[in-house]
């Protein structure tokens, strides 16, 4: 039985984890067994006094966020923040029996502890107590009488400890709550929360420190924090040695880890003044949960949650070459080789024994000393393209290549330079080098300083002369043989053209003239040589591949000036021939809208047909929408913003552009997302231009994606602006539900997403269609309205569907009347096997699960 004082000052206990603080039976037990409060003994007056105290006793069992000087928090009791986001109490991690005072997310599963008070001194049993001592200090006690001061207080004023909704435990004066005397955010453990500062304040460096193991929160081998030398970057240290770096902060991203900062989720801020230098961040959507944590293996991770399930969004380092300076000074890391390390040109391992044993941390040493100021032949520079640039360079604005090179040669300590937007010089050892590094920032061509003797000269001249005497005649003989072979071959294959002949060999006169005009007028559209595109995409390497489109793969590339591009390389076997290729170029050149993708140029050489677009860092809508982890990043605000952008793009194509354009292949994978999650409609290879008086057309070559095609187009080849409206309606339902239309099954029924939406609409339960990842705080009336509009867009008859102008009005105007929808155009189609297809059918396909070409009518 608990005491009366415990009853009055008992903070809440977590029902799901700990026994209740006081049950109803306990409360009434006090009334009946305590002599002073027995109504039979004290009569009516005493009975009334008892029930006057009863509400006070019940109130004392409710959750509280504050611990007062007269109270104590025992093991099994907790403080809960006002909005029930965070909870403070004692816990045991994993299989350990030790007890720790910590903070965790209240409504999430286990393993979500974000702060620990006594990680160096665990309590061995459940006797732990958090209380204030006589000096006003917040203190942790155990059953043996040992005391550990958590936060110093004051004898002259009354202190209170409060659990805030941000996850911050603060100590402040009861009479002046605005003055925070101590806070847990100043002493982080392994988690970096929104609103927390990570960096330098005076001599204090706020660091994250990993757990020792999954079950032991004692300080581990890894720590993470702001560079103590003052550069604006994060480091992870392993036992004091640099293990990983984020790269320098440029005001928007970290140069070596741009994905660490997601502009559509976070608002990052770097503060630098005389007193402090730190990073902090806030969430653009406070209803979602995100945190960075340093795990016991030394990886910094970005976590979010779907329900009570923890989802890993990002983690570093994930590859060998992301470990800082893995190959040591002047060592070069390559992800594609085993072992991954080699020495730069002109260098050799400092300890060959260590390298042979796999320890490359000692790095490399020069084979020949630099000749600086020795009177010998001047040092030279070795060109190292596509390198991850070393850290700690010194930059100079407005210096050209010659100035940068001369400045490096004049300083004996200068070991390398880079010229891009500015000149950057490096002094001393070069660390953290990686080759074939094609990131948008933090990479470039490095000019490494070497002794001139490392190049062919001096003592090698005699040997070189011998080589030349032997090699030249041999080379001439081989050349003559090769020329004869090529001449005979060319006679047999005159119709075949070399891949690297001049551009525009395969274009007809119309497109050649159009492209030529664009180039001459100084348009942003350019004609690219194949070799330049191959260089930009690292020879179309698999690492640069973004995905596979209906007509061929798409690659990420980087031009020589640093601009990032998306390269669509049409496959030779694809259905998109020169006609669709020309169509896509001419269409996009004439269309300019913020919700349409921008075409930067093309390349046509031999059989190669390549389109170059602006690069979209957030890929396509389907990349987020149909993935449970990434879908959590699309809250309703962003989804509705994407819907509005797609609608505006279609309206421009149908009514406001110089041409009336029918897209014919609108789907989630053809909606690209820029850095700020703005949608851009792409892939105009199947689009058709209508004249001013045309409203519809018929084609015998039906192309598109099953699940998005209107019934009249799929069955009869009839298409119009209402065909795009149908596709928009399907896409709108997918955005709301987070599910694909094709392959959708609910409770075993052969219904697609349209059928399921109609079924819920008829039952009056349309909001059940909503993606479970969407928070409860989103506008249900707006979602219901969007479902209504989507059902109008997917009507069986094209005449019953609204125009895109009507769609935008219905979406944006709450007072706009929307007709009641009829049964939509949902029907079951069997997947046609290869054996079922006519032998003469050859059409285009476009992947988004299942595609069809020239389908039979119903």
SS3 label, residue 403: helix
Full-model pTM:
0.51
Euclidean distance between CA atoms 463 and 264, whole angstroms: 62
Contacts of 70 (CB under 8 A, 6+ apart): 9
At 693 the pLDDT is 56
* CA–CA distances in Å: residue 458 to residues 350, 370, 376, 377, 382: 26, 15, 11, 10, 18
Dihedral pair phi/psi, residue 828, rounded to 5° = -90, 125
Contacts of 846 (CB under 8 A, 6+ apart): 549, 550, 551, 665, 667, 683, 686, 703, 704, 705
* CA–CA distances in Å: residue 403 to residues 373, 392, 399: 19, 20, 6
Euclidean distance between CA atoms 220 and 116, whole angstroms: 14
At 424 the pLDDT is 92
Dihedral pair phi/psi, residue 566, rounded to 5° = -110, 130
Upstream peptide bond of 317 is cis (omega within 30 degrees of 0): yes
Euclidean distance between CA atoms 608 and 571, whole angstroms: 8
Closest-CA residue to 129 (of 165, 105, 155, 99): 99
Cβ count near 850 (within 10 Å)? 15
Q: What is the CATH number of domain 368-455?
A: 3.50.4
Domain boundaries defined on the chain: 64-186, 191-318, 368-455, 459-492, 509-614, 621-812
Torsion sign over Cα 381, 384, 385, 390: negative
SS3 label, residue 208: strand
Counting Cα atoms < 13 Å in the Cβ hemisphere of 596 gives 23
For 64-186, the fitting CATH number among 2.90.10.10, 3.40.50.720, 3.40.50.300, 3.40.190.10 is: 2.90.10.10
Closest-CA residue to 662 (of 704, 615, 604): 704
Cβ count near 736 (within 10 Å)? 25
- CA 395-398-404 angle, to 5 degrees, is 60
> In which element (H, E) is residue 204 found?
strand 204-205
At 701 the pLDDT is 61
Question: Which tokens is 448 given?
Answer: 């490494």
Question: Which tokens is 241 given?
Answer: 């040695």
Closest-CA residue to 261 (of 775, 774, 675): 675
At 60 the pLDDT is 44
Fold of the domain built from segment(s) 621-812: Transferase(Phosphotransferase); domain 1 (1.10.510)
At 341 the pLDDT is 93
At 364 the pLDDT is 96
- Residue that has been written with the tokens 């105007």 in this structure: 813
N residues, the chain: 858
Burial class (CB in 10 A: 0-12, 13-18, 19+), 521: exposed
Angle between helix 804-812 and 780-793 (nearest 10): 160
Question: Which tokens is 454 given?
Answer: 């490392």
At 259 the pLDDT is 82
Q: What pLDDT, in 10s, does the model give residues 622-652?
A: 989 988 778 888 889 899 999 999 999 999 9
What residues act catalytically? 665
Euclidean distance between CA atoms 170 and 189, whole angstroms: 16
Q: C-alpha dihedral over 491, 492, 497, 502, to 10 degrees?
A: -10
> In which element (H, E) is residue 230 found?
none
Which residues does the chain have with pLDDT short of 70?
1-63, 110-111, 156, 263-264, 373, 375, 438-441, 456-470, 485, 487-524, 549-551, 571-580, 583-584, 691-703, 743-751, 775-777, 826-858
Closest-CA residue to 818 (of 828, 807, 831, 826): 807
User: In this structure, are residues 663 and 650 in contact, taking their beta carbons and an 8 Å threshold?
Assistant: yes
| 509-614: CATH class | alpha beta
Question: Which tokens is 26 given?
Answer: 């306990």
Q: What pLDDT, in 10s, does the model give residues 82-105?
A: 999 999 999 999 889 999 999 999
At 55 the pLDDT is 46
Question: Which tokens is 365 given?
Answer: 């040493």
Pairing status of strand 169-173 against strand 394-396: unpaired
At 733 the pLDDT is 96
SS3 sequence of 282-314: EECCCCCCEEEEECCCCCEEEEEEECCEEEEEE
CA 759 to chain centre: 36
- CA 21-27-32 angle, to 5 degrees, is 150
- Residue that has been written with the tokens 């067994």 in this structure: 33
Euclidean distance between CA atoms 773 and 781, whole angstroms: 17
Closest-CA residue to 742 (of 826, 836, 832, 835): 826
């Amino acid at each position: 039985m608990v005491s009366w004082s415990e009853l009055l000052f008992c903070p809440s206990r977590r029902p799901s984890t700990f026994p209740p603080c006081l049950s109803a039976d306990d409360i009434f037990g006090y009334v009946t067994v305590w002599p002073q409060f027995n109504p039979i003994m004290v009569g009516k007056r005493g009975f009334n006094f008892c029930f006057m105290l009863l509400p006070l006793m019940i109130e004392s069992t409710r959750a509280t966020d504050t611990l007062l000087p007269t109270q104590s928090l025992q093991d099994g009791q907790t403080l809960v923040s006002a909005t029930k986001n965070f909870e403070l109490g004692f816990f045991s991690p994993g299989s350990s029996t030790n007890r720790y005072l910590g903070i965790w997310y209240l409504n999430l599963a286990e393993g979500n502890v974000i702060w620990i008070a006594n990680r160096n001194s665990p309590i061995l049993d459940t006797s732990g107590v958090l209380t204030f001592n006589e000096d006003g200090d917040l203190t942790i006690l155990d059953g043996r009488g040992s005391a550990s001061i958590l936060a110093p207080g004051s004898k002259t004023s009354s202190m209170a400890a409060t659990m805030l909704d941000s996850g911050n435990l603060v100590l402040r004066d009861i009479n002046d709550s605005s003055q925070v005397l101590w806070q847990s955010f100043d002493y982080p453990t392994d988690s970096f929360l929104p609103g927390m500062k990570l960096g330098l304040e005076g001599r204090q460096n706020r660091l994250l420190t990993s757990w020792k193991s999954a079950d032991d929160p004692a300080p581990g081998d890894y720590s993470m924090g702001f560079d103590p030398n003052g550069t604006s970057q994060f480091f992870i240290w392993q036992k004091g040695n640099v293990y990983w770096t984020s790269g320098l902060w440029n005001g928007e991203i970290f140069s070596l880890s741009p994905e660490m900062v997601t502009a559509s989720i976070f608002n990052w801020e770097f503060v630098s003044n005389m007193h402090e230098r730190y990073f902090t961040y806030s969430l653009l959507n406070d209803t979602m949960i995100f945190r960075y944590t340093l795990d016991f293996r030394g990886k910094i991770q970005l976590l979010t949650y779907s329900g009570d399930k923890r989802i890993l969004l990002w983690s570093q380092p994930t590859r060998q070459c992301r470990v800082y300076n893995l190959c040591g000074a002047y060592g070069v890391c390559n992800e594609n080789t085993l072992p991954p390390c080699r020495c730069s040109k002109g260098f050799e391992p400092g300890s060959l024994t260590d390298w042979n044993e796999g320890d490359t941390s000692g790095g490399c040493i020069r084979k020949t000393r630099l000749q600086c100021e020795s009177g010998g032949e001047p040092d030279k520079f070795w060109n190292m393209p596509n390198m991850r640039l070393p850290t700690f360079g010194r930059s100079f604005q407005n210096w050209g290549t010659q100035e940068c090179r001369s400045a490096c040669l004049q300083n004996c300590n200068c070991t390398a330079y880079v010229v891009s937007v500015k000149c950057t010089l490096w002094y001393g050892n070069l660390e953290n080098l990686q080759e074939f590094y094609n990131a948008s920032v933090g990479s470039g061509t490095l000019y490494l300083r070497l002794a001139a003797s490392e190049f062919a000269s001096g003592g090698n001249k005699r040997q070189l002369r011998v080589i030349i005497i032997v090699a030249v005649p041999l080379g001439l003989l081989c050349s003559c043989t090769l020329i004869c072979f090529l001449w005979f071959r060319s006679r047999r294959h005159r119709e075949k053209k070399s891949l690297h002949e001049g551009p525009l060999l395969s274009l007809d006169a119309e497109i050649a003239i159009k492209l030529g005009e664009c180039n001459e007028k100084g348009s942003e559209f350019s004609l690219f040589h194949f070799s330049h595109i191959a260089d930009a995409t690292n020879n179309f390497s698999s690492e640069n591949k973004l995905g596979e489109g209906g007509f061929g793969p798409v690659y990420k590339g980087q031009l020589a000036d640093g601009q990032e591009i998306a390269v669509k390389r049409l496959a030779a076997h694809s259905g998109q021939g020169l006609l669709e290729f020309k169509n896509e170029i001419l269409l996009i050149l004439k269309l300019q809208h913020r919700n349409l993708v921008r075409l930067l140029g093309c390349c046509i050489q031999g059989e190669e047909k390549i389109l170059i677009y602006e690069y979209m860092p957030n890929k396509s809508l389907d990349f987020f929408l149909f993935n449970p982890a990434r879908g959590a990043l699309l809250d309703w605000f962003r989804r509705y913003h994407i819907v509005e952008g797609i609608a505006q793009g279609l309206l421009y194509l149908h009514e406001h552009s110089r041409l009336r354009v029918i897209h014919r292949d609108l789907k989630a994978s053809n909606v690209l997302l820029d850095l700020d999650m703005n949608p851009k409609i792409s892939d105009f290879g199947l689009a058709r231009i209508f004249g001013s008086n045309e409203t519809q057309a018929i084609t015998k070559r039906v192309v598109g994606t099953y699940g998005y095609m209107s019934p009249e187009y799929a069955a009869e080849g009839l298409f119009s602006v209402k065909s795009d409206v149908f596709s928009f309606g399907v896409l709108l339902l997918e955005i709301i539900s987070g599910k694909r239309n094709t392959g959708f099954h609910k409770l075993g029924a052969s219904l697609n997403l349209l059928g399921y939406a109609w079924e819920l609409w008829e039952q009056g339960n349309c909001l059940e269609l909503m993606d479970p990842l969407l928070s409860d705080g989103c506008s249900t009336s707006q979602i219901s309205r969007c479902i209504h509009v989507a059902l109008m867009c997917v009507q069986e008859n094209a005449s019953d569907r609204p125009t895109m102008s009507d769609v935008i009005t219905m979406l944006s105007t709450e007072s706009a009347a929307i007709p009641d929808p009829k049964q939509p155009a949902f029907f079951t189609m069997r997947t046609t096997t290869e054996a079922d297809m006519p032998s003469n059918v050859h059409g285009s396909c476009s992947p988004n699960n299942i595609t069809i070409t020239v389908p039979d009518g119903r």
